[in-house]
Structure 1
Amino acid sequence: MAKRPTEITYWVDEKPPALALVLLSLQHFALVAIFLVVSVTIARMAQLDTEAGSRLVSLTMIAGGVATILQCLGRGGLGSGFMVPATTTTILLPPAALALAKGGLPLLFGMSLFSGLLVMGLSRVIHRLRPLFPTEIAGFVVFMIGLTVMILAVRQLVGMGQADGEYLRFAAVGLPVLAVIVGFNVWGGKRLRLYCSLIGVVFGYALGMAEGWLAPLDIQHLEEAPLLAMPQPGSFGLAFDVELLLPFIITALAMTLNSVGAVTAAQKANDADWKRPDMGNIGRGILADGVANVFAGLIGGVGQAATSGAVGLSVATGATSRYIGLGVGTLLVGLSFSPKIATALLIMPPPVIGAALMSSGCFLVMNGIQVISSRMLDSRKIFVLGIALAFGLGRLVDPHFFETLPGWLQPWVGSPLTVSVTLVILLNATLRIGTGTRSRVRLDIAHLTPEQLTEVVTEQGQLWAAEPETIHRVRFALQEVFDLLGQNDMVMTEAGGRRPLELQTLFDEFTFSVTVTYSGLPLTMEKSRPTEDEILEDDDGMRRLASYMIGRMANNVHSSVRNGGRCEILLSFNA
């Protein structure tokens, strides 16, 4: 059962009041609409005229609306049920360029449909890949998604890559907008915090107009765009080319990893006691994305992917209700019938876009760091995360090198996110070789110190990336067990005064189990706490109290005598 985070105003299954729902939906719609620039980019790559380009954007909005509704509704095994809107993604740009060059939009939509089918297939087996996505890897994916969002945000915010002197023009709009968003989030109180990004975007439009960011051509396009127009699904056609299978297979895998990160971030945001990814729920989220991409290909819209930026915004505002996502989906579908609205969104000043993305990216990055730091890491895990991060940053520092790699590799190296996530999964799978889920060690409790026990347990915790809190409980319970056995002479003494026992540990991502085996007297476990009088007056009082405390620290304790007279104590801890 998920525990409600204290900073959340509207939780996942709570429906906000009507006015709040409308405003929050508009706020997220504005963020999602930013990514429609991908469909505009594809329209320009395909050399479409204004009418065809507007039609492509409208059909893409319909696909995004349907994808968002399926994802947030979470019914019939389809969708995660979290507020994870869908939008276009830059993951699609490298293979889209190949498809457009070879067969135009029909080939792009046909191959996108194929990718959607493959994503649907991957959703049915993702739960079997749980060892590839332990908690620290899921946290790394969320961290890199947030970092990617923030990189895009900084570029838009201060005009990185623009002509000399342009950064002042960008910063003159972007920094005040960011200040408004942060100010309302931090000092605006519970209510205004909910709408901090929406307030910032509205302020940004006004400031952008005053600073001359809306060019006469932008205004002309806005005036010429019709208020209402009927989209024409399927008007671009479909085609298929076996030579493009590999790049679109890679695209499907990259989009699947993106969904893993987005849904994981949503799970973490909605549960104060979150421990690890729910792969079943993630699989349902991936399935919704796959269905959405099949639908997008059929109607002639650009493919869709879950957006973690909206998850970050929901955390920043304290509103993670899936009803907001349903509102966003409804707005996307409804406003797709208005080219004028679509045009107004597409002329949003870049510094305003950067400020909105920055605010959501901050929370994603910190969520990812919190998830990673919640686990104990040994040298293997440190190498996995460190090398993947280094190459992801390398893609940022020297993009030209990665652009020179073969075309079929471009979906894997098209962004810092795809580079780092691909590497982290491959390295994790490779360095798992030789890492068992069981360990066995023989100890002599006659000479065992607390420091030695701590070293043994901590080493296993780091090897398996267990939570520090879990390791603390294991260490405390084992110390109590060993004290009981030693002080009450319950372990048979051998030559030289040795009192040996065997400690076996087992880890399966969900449970940390410890089995203590020895020759001697069995340990009797106490189900109820002894009274103060029983503790003070009964000769066995302290032993009974210690036995009771062991049961309190472990989630399950079982003491038995095996065939051959060996005693066994099994302690299980939820990891």
Structure 2
Amino acid sequence: MADKQPYTDDRAPDAQRNGDLIYGLEDKPGLGPTVFAAVQHVLASFIGIITPTLIIGGVLGLGEYVPYLVSMALIVSGIGTFIQARRIGPVGSGLLCVQGTSFAFLSTILSIGFVVKNRGGTPEEILSTIFGVCFLAAFVEVFLSQFIHRLGRVITPVVTGTVITIIGLSLVSVGMTDLAGGQGAEDLGSLQNLALGGLVLVTIVLVNRFRHPLLRLSSVIIGLAVGFVVAWFMGKVDFSTLGSLPLVAVPQPFKFGFSFDIAAFLSLAIIFVVTSLETTGDLTANSMVSQQPVKGPVYMRRIKSGVMADGVNSAIAATFNSMPMTTFSQNNGVIQLTGVASRHVALYVAGILVLLGLFPVIGGILQQMPKPVLGGATLIMFGTVAAAGVKILAQSELNRRNILIIATSIGLGMGVAGAPDVLQALPETVRNIFGTPVSLGAFTAIVLNLYLPQDRTSADEPEMLTADTVAPDEHTT
């Protein structure tokens, strides 16, 4: 299709006020509007892409490898975004979708890392196991993509909402600990740390309440920037180590080796099942804002191809030393904000992300972000994950059966989180599988949903999850 006329200010307000797109899915905007839209997509997703890596690196003590891991997260996000939008064979939705690291995997990946660490494993062995397991587990989503239209009969909104709520609740303690200074910090809980983390939290909340959409989208970035600057004046930021970083980060397949653990694989596979349904909802929402079909054969092919791309991109991410990928939903808001749904913009987004990832100094600077600053932001993010799960549950009929599923699953999941020693008498393999709140809670919810009979008055029939029944991606605030 021929390029449309360049973006002008007098066109934009009318187009957006009428709910029309300035540039449709297959349109090719000029360089100006393309770059403008691409930069906004990068800003909306940047923190979501790098934060899981920063948290995992900090909590598991991966130290010197964090800048490299951040670079890889940005590079594979760019590659994944290209594949999702460009559509290579049966892989890719062909939509303006940004791929990034998912918070849904965070709790399970941390548990895998702690298992290896408690055995006396080195940072290299921790990363080898994490990426080896993530690589193989990613093919679970590739397989499920071909049956995604039937998966909703097993993973209903009650199951999905329960699992997402557990994910958020289980991570809140990580955010709160970081806000207070970080695990093992000598000044844990000091007034300085609490004030710094509180400043970031309050800034995000206040900025998020502004009416201007761009400010709301940038609330996390603004909060982190304010906290970083204040921390620098407080003497909590040290850039002296940046000089030792290499100029360019070179992606190396399985740089840390390849290890496998069956218990870790089973735990991670459950999360891939849940995220495949989240991706279905995000792609449906993207189709809606892009004025594409949300039913029929074209829509179903797009969903299958998009979920397959998530799995393929997660395998690529593990190969190049990064965490599993998922489709971000906050970028749907950017499409509505800019009126640009052209998938060609995603190619520029991909290029910008890869370019940023080539320079380890970016990861090095972000690594210097004090724990209280990061904790102030992640505490809200994790709370948002839990709230998104509650939102899904609120859309289901809360009859006796469903309340029993929710209560039992959250009770067991969070019970293990609060008292991990209760499983110490079980065999190590079983303990590793069910020792995380997400895996135990998800397993409980799935089994109960399958075998508890439906109430006769229940309106919670199995259904294909759509944008209305799946939470927005956990990276949004």
Q: Specify which of 42, 49, 53 is matched with residue 36 of structure 1.
A: 53
Counterparts of 2:97 and 2:435, CA distance in 1: 27
In the superposition, relative to structure 1, how do residues 367 and 95 fare at CA in structure 2: closer, same or farther (>3 Å)?
closer
Cα displacement string for residues 476-532 of structure 1 (whole angstroms, at most 9, x for unaligned residues): xxxxxxxxxxxxxxxxxxxxxxxxxxxxxxxx748xxxxxxxxxxxxxxxxxxxxxx
TM-score, normalisation: structure 1: 0.60
Cα displacement string for residues 537-566 of structure 1 (whole angstroms, at most 9, x for unaligned residues): xxxxxxxxxxxxxxxxxxxxxxxxxxxxxx
Counterparts of 2:55 and 2:216, CA distance in 1: 29
Between stretches 181-190 and 104-113, larger displacement belongs to 104-113
- Find the counterpart in structure 2 of residue 373 from structure 1: 394
SS in 1 for 2:152: helix
Instruction: Tell whether 2:213 aligns with 1:196.
Output: no
Counterparts of 1:207 and 1:254, CA distance in 2: 37
- Find the counterpart in structure 1 of residue 75 from structure 2: 62
- Find the counterpart in structure 1 of residue 209 from structure 2: 186
SS in 2 for 1:229: coil
Q: Which has the higher contact order (CA 8 A, sep 6+)?
A: 2
- Find the counterpart in structure 1 of residue 7 from structure 2: none
Cα displacement string for residues 320-364 of structure 1 (whole angstroms, at most 9, x for unaligned residues): 987787666444422221111111122222232233334444554
Alignment of 1:271-420 (within 5 A): 283-299=304-320, 301-306=321-326, 311=329, 329-401=350-422, 406-409=427-430, 412-413=433-434, 415-420=436-441
SS in 1 for 2:273: helix
Q: CA deviation at 1:388?
A: 0.9
For structure 2, the 5+ residue unaligned runs are 1-15, 465-477
SS in 2 for 1:233: coil
In the superposition, relative to structure 1, how do residues 138 and 67 fare at CA in structure 2: closer, same or farther (>3 Å)?
same
Instruction: Tell whether 2:233 aligns with 1:210.
Output: yes
In the superposition, relative to structure 1, how do residues 392 and 237 fare at CA in structure 2: closer, same or farther (>3 Å)?
closer
| Matched pairs, number | 423
Structure showing greater Rg: 1
Instruction: Tell whether 2:106 aligns with 1:87.
Output: no
Counterparts of 1:193 and 1:24, CA distance in 2: 13
**8 Å CA contact 1:194, 1:317 repeated in 2:** no
Cα displacement string for residues 35-84 of structure 1 (whole angstroms, at most 9, x for unaligned residues): 11366369856xx9x4x665455344433432344346666543454746
**8 Å CA contact 2:141, 2:308 repeated in 1:** yes
Alignment of 1:51-200 (within 5 A): 54-71=67-84, 76-79=89-92, 81=95, 83=97, 85-87=99-101, 89-90=105-106, 91-95=108-112, 101=121, 104=125, 109-148=131-170, 150-159=172-181, 166-200=189-223
- Find the counterpart in structure 1 of residue 3 from structure 2: none
In the superposition, relative to structure 1, how do residues 70 and 202 fare at CA in structure 2: closer, same or farther (>3 Å)?
same
- Find the counterpart in structure 2 of residue 231 from structure 1: 250
Alignment of 1:504-515 (within 5 A): 509=463
**8 Å CA contact 1:68, 1:85 repeated in 2:** yes
Instruction: Report the AA paired with residue 224 of structure 1.
Output: S
Counterparts of 1:345 and 1:69, CA distance in 2: 25
Counterparts of 2:283 and 2:179, CA distance in 1: 26
In the superposition, relative to structure 1, how do residues 413 and 209 fare at CA in structure 2: closer, same or farther (>3 Å)?
farther
Instruction: Report the AA paired with residue 206 of structure 2.
Output: G
Instruction: Report the AA paired with residue 316 of structure 2.
Output: F
**8 Å CA contact 2:263, 2:432 repeated in 1:** no
TM-score, normalisation: structure 2: 0.71
Counterparts of 1:375 and 1:332, CA distance in 2: 38
Counterparts of 1:158 and 1:12, CA distance in 2: 46
For structure 1, the 5+ residue unaligned runs are 436-458, 467-507, 511-575
Counterparts of 1:134 and 1:61, CA distance in 2: 33
Counterparts of 1:400 and 1:203, CA distance in 2: 40
Counterparts of 1:13 and 1:174, CA distance in 2: 41
Measured on the aligned residues, the alpha-carbon RMSD in Å equals 4.4
Counterparts of 2:166 and 2:285, CA distance in 1: 15
Counterparts of 1:355 and 1:270, CA distance in 2: 33
Counterparts of 1:99 and 1:57, CA distance in 2: 21
Counterparts of 1:360 and 1:388, CA distance in 2: 22
Q: Specify which of 264, 274, 277 is matched with residue 281 of structure 2.
A: 264
